[in-house]
Amino acid sequence: MSITETATSGLSRRIADTFISQCNEQGEHEYVLERWAYVPGMLLMSVARAGVQHEEPEYLAFMRRHMDSFIGEDGSIRSYTLEEYNLDQINQGKNLFYLYRQTGEARYAEAAHLLAAQLIGHPRTSEGGFWHKKVYPFQMWLDGLYMASPFLAEYGAVFQRPELIDEAAHQLLLIERRTRDPRTGLLYHGWDESKEQEWADSSTGLSSHFWSRAMGWYAMAAVDCLEHFPVTHPQRGTIIGIFQRMCGALLEVQDQETGLWYQVLDQAGRKGNYLEATGSCMFVYAMAKALRLRYLEPSFKDAMLKGYEGILAHLVTEDEQGVHLHQICHGAGLSKDRNGSYDYYISEAVVSDAPMGVAPLLLASLEVEKYLDGQ
């Protein structure tokens, strides 16, 4: 089956159906939806986008049911604590905007105001960059850009707070400037302004390697933020430009045989490295969306489609239980016992069907389908 046939055969619908059936019938992933957190937030958003794209009320009802289990009548959020100052806790709030637009219920707006209040008072570096978490002082991670910046940009657009769109732009530009390697154009996973952490270079404060998912977080953050920027925003063109430059760097490390990307991006062929699912799906999503919205030049089309073909050929299987995704890094971070070394990144568990990978696969499939439909 060609990629065009695959994209028009409803793969994204089958991915959504697989996940929902596993939750509803087997309870296999219900644990992921029991607390307010970034992975459930991304899953619910991907299912809701499938609901909009396929005009499928069941998908939208699934998202609302789980969101409503957290949102009180007064807009309070069960299991959320503002004073944690944790960027990961913002991500699930992206679903509030759709719910507010569709229902007009004030509780969804109040919950969004609560999350925005966290970001307005969030601890920052000396240049105004959000700390990833209160417990990670003076540290910026690429992960955090996806968690918070698109929420902030959409919040600014929905509630007429243009200064918060400016803030989202500032975060994107600051971390790119601080983490970009001038030789490869790739972005390091994290930066410690204080240079105190064991994983941080003593002179630059940078972590040691280019982790594919971290760059995937940033790539998705950029395109999702830009969608909410007015065309007259003074940083819009700059962010589009650095996004295209970054995608050019990603093409340099794309595996030419499979179209995929490695867990440690620039270490192809090194012992223990492997072609990783989440980063590959995130890059395809970001490039497909950017091509559709003309943030990227059309010359990136072939690389994007090659990446998607690689995901389908090498990482996805399908059986009577549904669609499965393999070679997912279970998780990685930076801390005292997660030192950011090459050996660390390849030591994390590699799993199948984890929600961390399913959501980017669904998002990528939806965007590729939408892009090809518009060709």
State the burial class of residue 339 (Cβ atoms within 10 Å of its Cβ: 0-12, 13-18, 19+). middle
Confidence check: pLDDT of 165 > 70: yes
179: its two tokens: 């983490």
Q: Are 332 and 142 in contact (CB under 8 A)?
A: no
pLDDT band at 348 (very low <50, low <70, confident <90, very high): very high
Q: Are 171 and 149 in contact (CB under 8 A)?
A: yes
Number of domains in the chain: 1
Residue 187 exposure: Cα atoms within 13 Å on the Cβ side: 30
d(CA 161, CA 206): 33
Q: Which of 17, 68, 88, 143 is catalytic?
A: 143
Range 98-118 burial, b when 16+ CB lie within 10 A, else e: bbbeeeeeebbbbbbebbbeb
Any catalytic annotation for residue 143?
yes
SS (H, E, C) 113-131: HHHHHHHHCCCECCCCCEC
Beta bridge partners of 329: 350
Q: What is the mean pLDDT of residues 3-25?
A: 80
pLDDT band at 375 (very low <50, low <70, confident <90, very high): confident
- Give the 3-state secondary structure of residue 360: helix
Structure letter (DSSP) for residue 230: -
Residues 293-326 pLDDT 10s: 999 999 999 999 999 999 999 999 999 999 999 9
pLDDT band at 26 (very low <50, low <70, confident <90, very high): low
Q: What is the mean pLDDT of residues 151-179?
A: 98
Confidence check: pLDDT of 2 > 80: no
Beta bridge partners of 331: none
Q: What is the separation, in whole angstroms, between the first and last Cα of the chain?
A: 19
CATH assignment at residue 306: 1.50.10.10
Question: Among 43, 45, 52, 41, which residue's Cα sits nearest to residue 23?
Answer: 43
* Cα–Cα separations (whole angstroms), residue 89 to 77, 143, 164, 184, 311: 11, 12, 18, 32, 29
Q: What percent of the chain lies above the pLDDT cut of 90?
A: 92
Category of 269 on φ-ψ map: left (φ > 0), alpha (ψ -120 to 50) or beta: left
* pLDDT value of residue 282: 99
Q: pTM, whole model, 2 decimals?
A: 0.97
Domain assignment of residue 162, given as a range = 3-373
d(CA 300, CA 205): 33
